[in-house]
Amino acid sequence: MAYQEPERQQFHFSSRKGWLNDPNGLCFYQGTYHLFYQHNPAAVHWGPMHWGHATGTDLIHWQEQPIALYPDESGAMFSGCAVVDEQNLTGLGVDPASPPLLFFYTCAGKPFTQNLAYSLDGGRTVVKYARNPVVPNLHGGGERDPSVAFDPASGTWRMALYLGDERGDFALLESADLLNWRETALFRIPNGGRECPELFQIADKTDGKLRWAILEANGNYLVGDITDGRFQAEHAGIFMHRSGLKGGYAGQTFKNPPDGRRLYIAWQQDYIRGDAFSQSMTLPVELKLV
């Protein structure tokens, strides 16, 4: 009966078994889209977080893969992102034809830290970095949900990090090698911006200029530029409206897309809770800046 239950949506991804929430590590790598996600395989409610994994070629048909990240003695595996280390800046790669696929995730221990895992076989097997954490706890709170993007203007990598519900703000960090990070700025997202930042560049359709955008879990966003490690916001708004406490939440866009489109998937918060599974993802949508 798996995937055929009468209450299971047929066009929205859901895990064969257990609970699902935030999409993680959305990326395109050598012909395949990867959808990782927050996952409790043992129950139909939130619990010890793993990273589930599914792959596909058309963003609609997904093949569920073995679990990618398991909780360990340091804590549960909270949300994060994926990037392709094309230049092997980390030195983790062994084959130039298959650059490392890097996963930045929050280890929800005491304290929360930002950790690194990697794959050298296109996501089939994932190994935790031996020298974790790559970002220690910076401000003493529930810091989580790293989002990493390359900044071509400076030739460095940027990380947006939520600093926890106690503070409600975000940090911007910088790295030249994806391993050593330094904080460059703190900022807020209007209208109660909360967790799961998503940082990327997108071309403005009106003038073709690349702008930086940062989204948060509820759909609030900032658009602007990053100068000297600081986010200079020019516009703020909301692109997604939820119905009460349900609807799209904590979405991400696919890194390294083959056609340059900014494709977005979120957790579709809903009331569906079968005997075997609960929750699903939204359908993919394309984001544009006008």
State the residue for tokens 């391993």.
Answer: 179
* Nearest in space to 169 (alpha carbons), one of 198, 146, 192, 147: 192
- Residues with pLDDT less than 50, the chain: 1
Helix (H, G, I), strand (E, B) or coil at 1: coil
Q: Answer yes or no: is 1 within a domain.
A: no
The pLDDT, as a whole number, for residue 10 is 85
Identified catalytic residue from 22, 58, 145, 165: 22
Residue 8, in any domain of the structure: no
Residue 249: Cβ-neighbour burial (10 angstroms; 0-12, 13-18, 19+): buried
Distances (CA, A) of 173 to 45, 161, 219: 33, 8, 22
Written as one letter, the residue type at 73 is: E
Residue 34's SS3 state is strand
Question: Are 108 and 36 a contacting pair, CB within 8 Å?
Answer: no
Question: What is d(CA 276, CA 43) in angstroms, rounded to the nearest whole number?
Answer: 8
The answer as to whether 7 is a domain residue is no
Place of tokens 């298959």: 98
The reply to whether 112 falls in a domain is yes
Q: What does the block give as tokens for 28? A: 């395109």
Which backbone phi and psi does 274 adopt, to 5 degrees? -80, 180
pLDDT tens per residue across span 257-281? 999 999 999 999 987 677 899 999 9
Q: Is residue 105 part of a domain?
A: yes
Quote the DSSP letter at residue 167.
T
Q: What is the domain range of residue 172?
A: 18-287
pLDDT at 1: 47
Alpha helices (H) along the chain: none
Residues 6 or more apart whose CB falls under 8 angstroms from that of 152 comprise: none
pLDDT of residue 193: 72
CA distances in angstroms from 151 to 34, 159, 176, 202, 212, listed in the order given: 23, 10, 10, 12, 9
Residue 64 to residues 41, 123, 124, 148, 264, Cα–Cα distance (Å): 12, 12, 11, 25, 19
Give the global pTM. 0.96
22 is catalytic: yes
> How many separate domains does the chain show?
1
Whether 92 is covered by a domain: the verdict is yes
CATH number of the domain where residue 127 is located: 2.115.10.20
pLDDT digits (tens, 9 = 90+) for 119-155: 999 999 999 999 999 999 999 999 999 999 999 999 9
Backbone φ and ψ of 84, nearest 5°: -95, 125
Q: Would residue 2 count as lying in a domain?
A: no
In a domain? residue 4: no
pLDDT on residue 59: 96
What is the C-alpha to C-alpha distance for residues 40 and 42, in angstroms, rounded to an integer? Answer: 6
The alpha-carbon radius of gyration of the chain (Å, integer) is 18
- Kindly list the strands in the beta sheet with 144-151, ordered across the sheet, starting from the edge strand earlier in the chain: 144-151, 156-162, 170-175, 182-187
Quick one: pLDDT at residue 174? 98
